[in-house]
Amino acid sequence: MFHRSERLFLRPAFPEDCGAILAGIGDEGIVRNLARAPWPYRIDDARAFAALPQDTRLPHFLVTIPGKGVIGSAGMGEHDGQPELGYWIAREHWGRGYATEAAGAVLKIARTLGHRRVVAGHFIDNPASGKVLRKLGFAPTGQIAKRHSLARGGMVDSVEYALDLEADMDPATFARAA
């Protein structure tokens, strides 16, 4: 599965992407905010990520800028039996709205796939991710859950969010993801 947004192209990872994946995510400041990535992140981890099978109901993508290459990843996984949104963007590309655009594109795909509700969360010490989620229309559930962080080697408080994809949504929220 592939998707083109206003500035980004979302596509599956290929084995030849391992170096670009490592270059983008090989920063402790990024990895510590992800649940499933180890630290230190090594080329074998990038190979394993690129080799992950695609689930047609929960796709995951590399986020690329056409002509420039891989800048991150965005996709869906599963948490407590519900579709969950996740993403990361390489540090050099922070502050340009790419996380919001890429995650918005994934939500558009989720809606097309028939998902009615998507959950997400961010570690309590990563408020920038919460800002992205709120821009996309996610609402805090009021719960702070303990979530495992492989990179941190333990449980970390996570602010939990949910988004009802069936609710009428502000078209401007997803305009950049179209």
Encode pLDDT of 89-141 as tens digits.
Answer: 999 999 999 999 999 999 999 999 999 999 999 999 999 999 999 999 999 99
Encode pLDDT of 23-82 as tens digits.
Answer: 999 999 999 999 999 999 999 999 999 999 999 999 999 999 999 999 999 999 999 999
Contact 12, 75 (CB under 8 A): no
DSSP for 17-57?
Answer: GHHHHHHHH--HHHHTT-SS--SS--HHHHHHHHTPPPBTT
What does pTM read for this prediction?
0.92
Domains in the chain: ranges and CATH: 3-175 (3.40.630.30)
Cβ within 8 Å of residue 166, ≥6 positions away: 116, 117
